[in-house]
Structure 1
Amino acid sequence: MTELKDSYDVVVIGGGAAGLNGALMLARSRRSVAVIDAGQPRNAPADAVHGLFAREGTPPAELIARGQEEVRSYGGEMFSGEVSDVVGSVDDFEVRLSDGRTTRARRILVTAGVVDKLPPVPGLAEQWGHGVVHCPYCHGWEVRDRAIGVLATSPMTAHQALLFRQLSDDVVVFSHQAALDEEELEKLAALRIRVIEGKVTAVEQSAGAITGVRLADGTVVAREAIAVATQMVARAGFLSGLGLTPTEHPSGMGVHIPAEAITGKTAVPGVWAAGNVTDMAAQVGPAAAAGGQAGAVINADLVMSDAARALAEYRDVFSPASEARVGRIIAGDRSL
């Protein structure tokens, strides 16, 4: 079993699509890279990854295994573990794991993803990733033509209902504890999406399948699938030592680590972020692409840093004063 080395060019924190593709780009650039993953992928409950070109329907675990194999084939190293803290600064970061292991890195790529926080409604968690879904592009086809209930939990509820209406003629919105404005209500009515008032108290199930939604007054509305917008929380507590703390995403979907959209640069020099930890709506494909882009940008940053250092050394050696000193040594000046 490979042991964590004392230092690497880049440590990637998080081994999902973004992290592995970033590591792949770095390893192919002959950078020493370590991927540290806590083994808690966001899409673990799902049966398959969808909407991913040439890998449609691949089980999440199989996709990760393929990615790990590819990274290793170019010399990248994979480690299981949970990062507890990152301290230091550019060219000298220290990455600390909860089991006591440590390593150092010149650059950091954060791809630790998010945790989905479901509303505290009995039955939702048990069906998460199967009968309970959040993304019409990730799992909408799998619940097409079913009786779908959209649980109002966020400002995105009406938008979510319209997207699922494309997949089924039988969609209702449960107002639960959220309010919809007049224009949203009018749009829903125009598309024959009924809004059912009242707090949802449980998701009814039978033989492992959703059968209905129970309201506070005891009414049960027959449904076969539930769409719900989760509150997403970035896995990034380990960055507090660098002064990077999760902030509210502009969409209201949760908290994330802000980073530049194209490069993945964060506010801390030497630290990049990619995937859901910064782009909360990214599916597997865009997350992987962002990781790859960040990996390329990090490699370019290291190249420029190495070149600047080499240039400084070159100028020091071949400066006029240095050349004169070399000439005096050759001439046998013993005063040197």
Structure 2
Amino acid sequence: MDTTTNAPGEPQVEDVWDSVIIGGSAAGLSAGLVLARARFATLVLDSKAPRNGPAAHMHGYLTRDGMAPRDFIAAGQEELSGYGASIVQATVAEAERATDGTFVLRLADGGTVRGRALLVATGLTDELPDIPGLAERWASVVHHCPHCHGYEVSGRKIVVIGSAMGASSAHLAALMRRHSTSVTLCVNGAELEETERQRLTAYGVNVIDAHVERVSAQAQAQAPASEGEPSVIVELDTGKSLRCEAIFVAPRPAPHDAILTTLGAQTDPASALVTVDTSGATSVDGLWAAGNVVNPRAQVVTAAGAGSAAGIAMSSWLLERELSGAVTELGGEGR
């Protein structure tokens, strides 16, 4: 880094960091750990809005199964800070490439940050069907990932609500059937081929051709189906309703990739996602992306692995430029 005068938590406009990471969750922190341990001046800009923030626990991460997301991030930040990296709460409003090749980031608070290499790990937003009462119960009784939350609702009454992600809705219903003998799929306008309907029915999933009008709380006068667990009512347009203890839905992923596309990163025509190679490198030299912003299906452990791979690639990229710069300073002769 060109200067070392920045106060903790306050990046200065004149700073040129070796690496800047936008996003301080699993992918961003893992990349930062690699870079900081390689002794590259590293800054993490974190808006403190992780995708799994509302969840009480995360699962599927070996040795961290059941850990609260906030505790996971706090532990990661502590480890990263121990290697000299800086973590700042900030939101990036604009990004551009300067003529000297550095990335210039303008923050929402008016500040400016510059970096030689940039990793975007900004995640995504889960867009739920527009059903009253659904969003209010997100991450409590409403879930989207059977691998993250399926085991915890084993044996309970489960309703899967169809969404615009039709194929995912059917797959979700089938996976939940492995955890419960009481799984109902409310098609809710989702595309469901007859062959898939037959497969689900044969597998024990109750398929209902109805739209969901509302999700509401279980009436106080009725005891919940399982002690200690909230029960909810799924109200259908047929006038009927279903009581359940857990709802699963396949939301539409909306990646926070504006920074990537603004900087010119190519997207895949089929998925509309920004394309990256196995290290997370985009089509723009010096620009990487990792985690849910380019892989909506990535769990915490997957995002962490992608961040680590990106950090290693960024270290090599930075090192190559330092080696070339050292030769240039010697007049172009490798002596």
Normalising to structure 2: TM-score of the pair?
Answer: 0.89
Task: Write out aligned runs for 1:259-274 (5 A).
Answer: 259-260=276-277, 262-274=278-290
Task: Write out aligned runs for 1:314-333 (5 A).
Answer: 314=330, 316=332
Where does the alignment leave 5 or more consecutive residues of structure 1 unmatched?
A: 320-336
Alignment partner of 1:201 is 2:213: yes
Match of 2:9 in 1: 2
Matches of 1:293 and 1:176, distance apart in 2 = 40
Task: Write out aligned runs for 1:45-64 (5 A).
Answer: 45-64=54-73
SS of 1:238's partner is helix
Task: Write out aligned runs for 1:1-336 (5 A).
Answer: 1-5=8-12, 6-88=15-97, 91-153=101-163, 154=165, 155-206=167-218, 209-244=230-265, 250=271, 256-260=273-277, 262-314=278-330, 316=332
Structure number with greater Rg is: 1
- Give the C-alpha shift of residue 238 in structure 1: 3.0
- Give the C-alpha shift of residue 245 in structure 1: 7.2
Where does the alignment leave 5 or more consecutive residues of structure 2 unmatched?
A: 1-7, 221-228
1:224-264 deviation per Cα after TM superposition (whole angstroms, max 9, x unaligned):
211100111111223443124766763xxxx532211x110
Contact 1:204–1:210 (8 Å) recurs in 2: no
SS of 1:256's partner is coil
SS of 2:332's partner is helix
Whichever residue aligns with residue 198 of structure 1, its letter is: A
- Alignment RMSD (CA, Å): 1.9
Matches of 2:162 and 2:206, distance apart in 1 = 13
Count of matched residue pairs:
314
Matches of 1:179 and 1:108, distance apart in 2 = 39
Matches of 1:318 and 1:96, distance apart in 2 = 38
Matches of 2:10 and 2:306, distance apart in 1 = 28
SS of 1:45's partner is coil
Contact 2:266–2:275 (8 Å) recurs in 1: no
- Give the C-alpha shift of residue 215 in structure 1: 0.7
Matches of 2:18 and 2:234, distance apart in 1 = 52
Shift of the 248–231 alpha-carbon distance from structure 1 to 2, 3 Å rule, reads farther
Percentage of identical aligned residues: 38
SS of 1:257's partner is coil
- Give the C-alpha shift of residue 57 in structure 1: 1.1
Question: Relative to structure 2, which stretch is displaced further, 21-30 or 224-233?
Answer: 224-233
SS of 2:231's partner is strand
- Give the C-alpha shift of residue 179 in structure 1: 2.3
Matches of 2:153 and 2:193, distance apart in 1 = 27
Contact 2:21–2:119 (8 Å) recurs in 1: yes
Matches of 1:18 and 1:181, distance apart in 2 = 37
Matches of 2:109 and 2:215, distance apart in 1 = 39
Matches of 2:33 and 2:286, distance apart in 1 = 19
Contact 2:120–2:260 (8 Å) recurs in 1: no
Contact 1:37–1:82 (8 Å) recurs in 2: yes
- Give the C-alpha shift of residue 105 in structure 1: 0.5
Contact 1:256–1:280 (8 Å) recurs in 2: no
SS of 2:33's partner is helix
- Give the C-alpha shift of residue 281 in structure 1: 0.4
